[in-house]
Amino acid sequence: MKTTKMSAVLAVAAALVVAGCSGQGAAEEAPAAPAAPGYGQLLSSQPLSGNAVLPSAARSELITYLSQDPRGNSTVVSGSVSMPPGPAPEGGWPVISWAHGTTGVADACAPSSGTVDGPDGEYLVYISQTLDRFVQAGYVVVQTDYVGLGTPGLHPYVNGDSEADAVVDIVRAGRSLDPAIGKTWYVAGHSQGGHAALFTAARGAERAPELDLRGAVAIAPGNNTSQTPQYFAVGGPDVRLALGYLPLILLGAQAADPDLRAEDYVADSAKPLVDTAYTSCTGSIDAVAATVPVDRIMKPDADVDALVAYLETQEPAQLKLAVPTLVLQGTGDTAVAEPGSRALVETLCANGSSVGYRTYEGLEHTPTVPAAYDDTVGFFDRLGAGEGASGLC
């Protein structure tokens, strides 16, 4: 995505959105666009490169497509499509739309670039080993970068509707890319992506009724972000491990509502966190977080009511899921604690959702992804075969 060609494609795609997607002058860089496109319109494609390529894929494409930002505006989103080898089954390849975990809010943190630096790049390569197994199992893997990662605009971190829209619309775009991709699809995600998977489970089928969303898997899903302002206002040594998430949550809220300015909430000593997050990924943010005094993070006089009210609208506990869903969690997770995930599942069940919950003894946040592979593929295979999912509330 850092190539000259992709820069030109993004410029053309952005012009299409502004101009109502007339498609004029875009023939060399993107498919011709109808006068009134739907979300998920494929805008461009080119061969994927770098660490984003899944080794077992017969075809790997970097794409841009049309989706929607939190304020309802059309926007360009990037992502990737990885196709299994061999002939497609009758009805086309089933799809897993993968929602990635936290990398940051800056363009440099887009997974499809294949060049993400530091710990985030290492995380993406590690996760890709599991995604490659999905391809080996006969699933097309589509991966959205989300709104604002690798494309214009600030990424609205943990905005559930925006995440879900991007997750859904890349399935539509993938089907435009290759007719061997079928209508049957599933969503799976980790951490931030687990949050995205839950919002997709609630709203994905309604957004794309022409597709067949069968089920969802949320691995260590992010939740309880509405408690962030109070948590960091209290301060103390226990908050340091989580401090790197603060600027992402604040800037994500700002991306969704420009009146929620991140700089209005943090103390001067914590402003370097916000400044770093504008341009760098979580590794650099964590390095800055190590230098911030834990008793001087939030402004003591900051009015956080509007911020908290917004974050409450992004809590997955409020959702009623429309498809069978598994929540998978490591009991040793220090990023998303197991008791919180268990409580979330209990609330979702009380809301009338059909949810199952499984844990992996002693596993930390990221190692839970490969550990969850068998449960994830087994769940999707059973749903794809028309079998009822057992063990759900």
User: Of 144, 28, 20, which Cα lies nearest the Cα of 74?
Assistant: 20
Burial (0-12, 13-18, 19+ Cβ within 10 Å), 86: exposed
CB 180 within 8 A of CB 57: no
For residue 39, what pLDDT band results from cuts at 50, 70 and 90? very high
CB 226 within 8 A of CB 312: yes
Show me where the domains of the chain are located.
36-223+316-384, 228-312
3-state SS of the chain is CCCHHHHHHHHHHHHHHHCCCCCCCCCCCCCCCCCCCCCCCEEEEEECCHHHCCCCCCEEEEEEEEEECCCCCEEEEEEEEEECCCCCCCCCEEEEEEECCCCECCHHHCHHHCCCCHHHHHHHHHHHHHHHHHHHCCCEEEEECCCCCCCCCCCCCCCHHHHHHHHHHHHHHHHHHCCCEEEEEEEEEECHHHHHHHHHHHHHHHHCCCCEEEEEEEECCCCCHHHHHHHHHHCCHHHHHHCCHHHHHHHHHHHHCCCCCHHHCECHHHHHHHHHHHHCEHHHHHHHHCCCCCCCCECCCCCCHHHHHHHHCCCHHHCCCCCCEEEEEECCCCCCCHHHHHHHHHHHHHCCCCEEEEEECCCCCCCHHHHCHHHHHHHHHHHHCCCCCCCCC
pLDDT digits (tens, 9 = 90+) for 233-279: 887 788 888 999 999 999 999 999 999 999 999 999 999 999 999 99
User: What's the mean pLDDT in 22-50?
Assistant: 62
Query: Can you tell me the distance from the alpha carbon of 104 to that of 107, in angstroms, rounded to the nearest whole number?
Result: 8
CB 176 within 8 A of CB 142: no
pLDDT digits (tens, 9 = 90+) for 320-330: 999 999 999 99
Q: Roughly what angle, to the nearest 10 degrees, separates helices 245-256 and 282-289?
A: 120
Q: Is 9 left (phi over 0), alpha (psi -120 to 50) or beta?
A: alpha
Q: 184: Cβ–Cβ under 8 A, 6 or more apart, which residues?
A: 91, 92, 94, 95, 211, 212, 214, 384
Q: In the CATH scheme, what architecture does the domain 36-223+316-384 have? A: 3-Layer(aba) Sandwich (3.40)
User: What is the model's pLDDT at position 156?
Assistant: 97
pLDDT digits (tens, 9 = 90+) for 161-190: 999 999 999 999 999 999 999 999 999 999
Is pLDDT at 37 greater than 70 in this prediction? Answer: no
Single pTM value for the model: 0.90
pLDDT digits (tens, 9 = 90+) for 12-32: 343 334 333 333 233 233 443
pLDDT digits (tens, 9 = 90+) for 74-131: 999 999 999 999 999 999 999 999 999 999 999 999 999 998 988 999 999 999 999 9
pLDDT digits (tens, 9 = 90+) for 282-308: 999 999 999 999 889 999 999 999 999
